[in-house]
């Protein structure tokens, strides 16, 4: 793969807000080589840590030299809460390091970028435009089973007083229903989600699952934007574990700015 300048996808629904800076980075524009070519930010991917650190610095620079919060993602359902009213947020400003072990993060702080790393899993960004609260979620098939998306929305409501009807959502490029095959689904996926399986094949529509989980928490369908880009089908632009096995991670980021 030839190296190119950094390329970022954006959600149209988020671009209408001047105080929101966000983006889904592609795999191009970095310094990694081989299977990780080229903007790999995944610390546990097998790439050299020094190169990953350099790629993360490129993202920090692209985002305007603001602090970035990276999570140690473990396919769980834990949500990290960062409130501007907290006394000590020094850990949150260790740019380029996995500061917290969690798979979702919510904040009402300005000028702080929330980062999710993915390669087939979904990054789901949320914004309450009334209460000025943002969130970023890592949801793979395990996260879908645990409904981490619903848990994140619930904590936006309980911790920040958000109202779901004021929240917009964006679903990043991820494994599409065209490629989400689970031949052992009866052992891996609960029966309550079998309705999302293709009638004649062992393929699941996790895009629809995420959309339904958002709506089940009260988010309006018209406030949900799915890029509908399958990572496995578009390995020239995005990392795909299903498609490549040994591969990197691309970044999905969101921040509120002053």
Q: Residue-wise pLDDT tens for the chain (258 aa)?
A: 445 799 999 999 999 999 999 999 999 999 999 999 999 999 989 999 999 999 999 999 999 988 899 999 999 999 999 998 875 555 555 555 677 999 999 999 999 999 999 999 999 999 999 999 999 999 999 999 999 999 999 999 999 999 999 999 999 999 999 999 999 999 999 999 999 999 899 999 999 999 999 999 999 999 999 999 999 999 999 999 999 999 999 999 999 998
Alpha-carbon gap, residue 9 to 24, rounded angstroms: 5
Q: What Cα–Cα distance (Å) separates residue 65 from each residue in 94, 118, 168? A: 13, 22, 26
Task: Tell me the CB-side half-sphere exposure of residue 162, using CA atoms within 13 A.
Answer: 27
Domain 8-256 has CATH 3.60.140.10: yes
Distance between CA atoms of residues 17 and 7, nearest Å = 21
- The residue written with tokens 């299903």 in the block is 242
Asked if 161 contacts 108 with a C-beta cutoff of 8 angstroms, the reply is no
CA distance 111 to 128: 16
Structure tokens at 231: 């990572």
Produce one character per residue of 109-137: b if its CB has 16 or more CB atoms within 10 Å, e if not.
beebbbbbbbbbbbbbbbbbbeebbbbbb
Say which DSSP state 220 is in. -
Q: Where are the domains of the chain?
A: 8-256
Distances (CA, A) of 103 to 42, 58, 152: 14, 23, 10
In this prediction, residue 90 carries a pLDDT of: 57
The DSSP symbol for 256 reads E
Query: Can you tell me the distance from the alpha carbon of 141 to that of 154, in angstroms, rounded to the nearest whole number?
Result: 20
- Distance, in Å, from the CA atom of 49 to the CA atom of 44, rounded to the nearest integer, reads 9
Give the β-pairing of 104-107 and 79-82: parallel
d(CA 47, CA 109) in angstroms, rounded, equals: 32
Query: Residue 27: what are its φ and ψ, rounded to 5°?
Result: -90, 0
Give, as one character, the DSSP assignment of residue 201.
S
Which letter does DSSP use for residue 90 in this model? G
Length of the chain: 258
């Amino acid at each position: 793969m030839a190296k190119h300048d950094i390329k970022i996808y954006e959600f149209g629904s988020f671009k209408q807000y001047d105080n929101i800076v966000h983006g889904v980075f592609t795999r191009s524009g970095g310094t990694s080589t081989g299977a990780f070519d080229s903007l790999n930010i995944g610390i546990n991917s097998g790439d050299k840590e020094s190169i990953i650190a350099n790629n993360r610095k490129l993202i920090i620079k692209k985002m305007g030299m603001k602090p970035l919060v990276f999570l140690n993602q473990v396919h769980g359902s834990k949500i990290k809460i960062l409130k501007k009213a907290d006394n000590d947020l020094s850990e949150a400003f260790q740019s380029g390091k996995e500061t917290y072990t969690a798979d979702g993060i919510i904040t009402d702080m300005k000028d702080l970028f929330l980062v999710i790393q993915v390669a087939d899993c979904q990054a789901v960004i949320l914004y309450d435009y009334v209460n000025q609260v943002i969130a970023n979620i890592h949801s793979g098939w395990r996260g879908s089973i645990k409904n981490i998306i619903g848990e994140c929305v619930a904590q936006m409501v309980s911790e920040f007083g958000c109202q779901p009807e004021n929240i917009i959502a964006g679903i990043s490029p991820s494994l599409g229903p065209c490629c989400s095959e689970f031949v052992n689904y009866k052992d891996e996926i609960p029966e309550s989600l079998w309705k999302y399986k293709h009638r004649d094949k062992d393929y699941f529509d996790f895009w629809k699952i995420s959309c339904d989980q958002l709506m089940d928490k009260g988010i309006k369908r018209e406030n949900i934007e799915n890029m509908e880009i399958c990572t496995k089908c578009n390995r020239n632009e995005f990392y795909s574990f299903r498609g490549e096995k040994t591969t990197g991670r691309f970044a999905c980021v969101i921040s509120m700015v002053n």
